[in-house]
Amino acid sequence: MNINEAQRVITDAVGRMGPGALSEEALVQHIHPLFSRVLARNEKSSEIYLANHSLGRPMDMVSDLVQGALDGWYEQLDGVWNAWLDARDRYRAEIAAMLCWPDERAVVPKTSAAQGLRAVLNAVPVQMPSIVSTECEFDSIDFVLKAYHDKERAFVRWVKPDKNGLMQPETIIKAISSNTDVVVLSAVCFATGQVVQSLKEIIDEAHEKGAIVVLDAYHAFGVLPLDFAALGADFIIGGNYKYTRGGAGACYLAVHPRHLDSSGGQSAPDSISPIDTGWFAKREPFSYKRSGNSLFAPGGDAWLEATPPVLTYYQALPGLMLTNTIGVDRLRAYSRTQQKLLADQLEANGVTPLLLKNRGAYILIEHHDGREAVNRLKASGINADARPLPGTDRWVVRLCPDLLNTNAELEESARRIAKALA
């Protein structure tokens, strides 16, 4: 199968659902057949999967597309490069469409969000940048920043959540000063699913104080119909293994056009320009020309690195295409309906979920010991996870339905969860 055939199958299936709000009946009839392999687990096991916020479930065509990319290698040898690079550019275009990013070449494939963050930190033309970040960032981002801080490659100031483990925008705004060079924060906090409010105000404040903003969009990407470009962040980092069902290694760095040099060439010493680089970032990489200095490709291609891993594009494209074809706004509306159903059913079974007013794709249940809660849930056939509630000694269990969970499954989940956590 090739990418165009995959898109045709997706377009047909989504088209058969008709326009407007998604319904369980239409999803089961038209979309579930595209997931027959992963849904076959339901025949063999009574487990209910509610960890869709962690590792998204793959479409059948993932393995067909990856197989197609490998077949091309066997059949065409080095002639396959054009197809592989077309897949890379389609990957960039699908991500740009989801972010509402104005320039698809300003989306740079990365193998992790951390790799995107390091590329930005290493590009900032300051010896020891002063960074403002929060205690609610995901471990990978937190760890990179701590490593830079400990090696005196950056000075990091950490903003604390409130006593309920939530980030308050005014505390972030207050922490940004005229000494700040970089602000690193999540659009949606990973532990709680809290949608951080006033992102535009935080970003505007950072710009006013002369700082740039790296926004971690991981838990917003494919979840919230946000116009990321309109928010004005300088860089977006994120990836595909959650809501866009793209598996591991398929991440990205989106560079705001204000940091792109459309003519390319050698970047000014005081500009934000990449040093995490390689020959794919060169001007005319396949000309094999050498010059005395580093001449970059124009635009976002200057942020590419060395020879990329290509199979991840094929692995991630089906989920990206499905999400874009259905539309994040329709998926969001359906997710809210599912979250409400699950929450109501939990209440009916005597469990009070923690429902944040501004939340992403999942609901929470507080627990004193997350590991114990998850073990009990696993034993009762519920696949979910738990994270420490930042700044507290409590935990939250995270429960994320998605379009493959039926209403009957959600009702059954609530009964099992109530029994397991009683």
Interacting residues with ligand PLP (CB under 6 A): 112-114, 138, 140-141, 186, 190, 216, 218-219, 239, 251
Shortest distance (Å) from residue 4 CB to ligand PLP: 29
Please give the torsion angle defined by the CA atoms of residues 405, 409, 410 and 415, in that order, rounded to the nearest 10 degrees.
-160
Shortest distance (Å) from residue 221 CB to ligand PLP: 10
CB-wise, 14 or 113, nearer to ligand PLP?
A: 113
Q: Where are the alpha helices (DSSP H) in 198-258?
A: 199-208, 228-231
Shortest distance (Å) from residue 241 CB to ligand PLP: 8
Q: Are 156 and 137 contacting, i.e. CB atoms less than 8 angstroms apart? A: no
Shortest distance (Å) from residue 71 CB to ligand PLP: 29
Shortest distance (Å) from residue 122 CB to ligand PLP: 15
Shortest distance (Å) from residue 404 CB to ligand PLP: 20
- Which of 363, 354, 346, 340 is CA-nearest to residue 415? 346
CB-wise, 216 or 402, nearer to ligand PLP?
A: 216
Shortest distance (Å) from residue 403 CB to ligand PLP: 20
CB-wise, 160 or 415, nearer to ligand PLP?
A: 160
- Which of 215, 212, 305 is CA-nearest to residue 259? 212
CB-wise, 35 or 190, nearer to ligand PLP?
A: 190
Q: Where are the alpha helices (DSSP H) in 259-369?
A: 311-326, 328-348
CB-wise, 17 or 120, nearer to ligand PLP?
A: 120
- Which of 123, 87, 102 is CA-nearest to residue 320? 87
Task: Please give the Cα distance from 383 to 398 (Å, whole number).
Answer: 10
How many CA atoms, within 13 angstroms, populate the side-chain half-sphere of residue 227?
A: 6
CB-wise, 94 or 142, nearer to ligand PLP?
A: 142
Shortest distance (Å) from residue 145 CB to ligand PLP: 12
CB-wise, 219 or 256, nearer to ligand PLP?
A: 219
Task: Please give the Cα distance from 189 to 411 (Å, whole number).
Answer: 27
As a 3-state breakdown, the chain gives helix, strand, coil percent values, each rounded to 5, of 45, 15, 40
Shortest distance (Å) from residue 53 CB to ligand PLP: 8
Burial of residue 3 (CB within 10 Å: 0-12, 13-18, 19+) is buried
Q: Which two tokens stand for residue 235?
A: 């860089």
Residue 19 vs residues 16, 22, 37, 396: alpha-carbon distances, Å: 9, 8, 27, 36
CB-wise, 3 or 213, nearer to ligand PLP?
A: 213
CB-wise, 81 or 138, nearer to ligand PLP?
A: 138
Task: Please give the Cα distance from 273 to 183 (Å, whole number).
Answer: 17
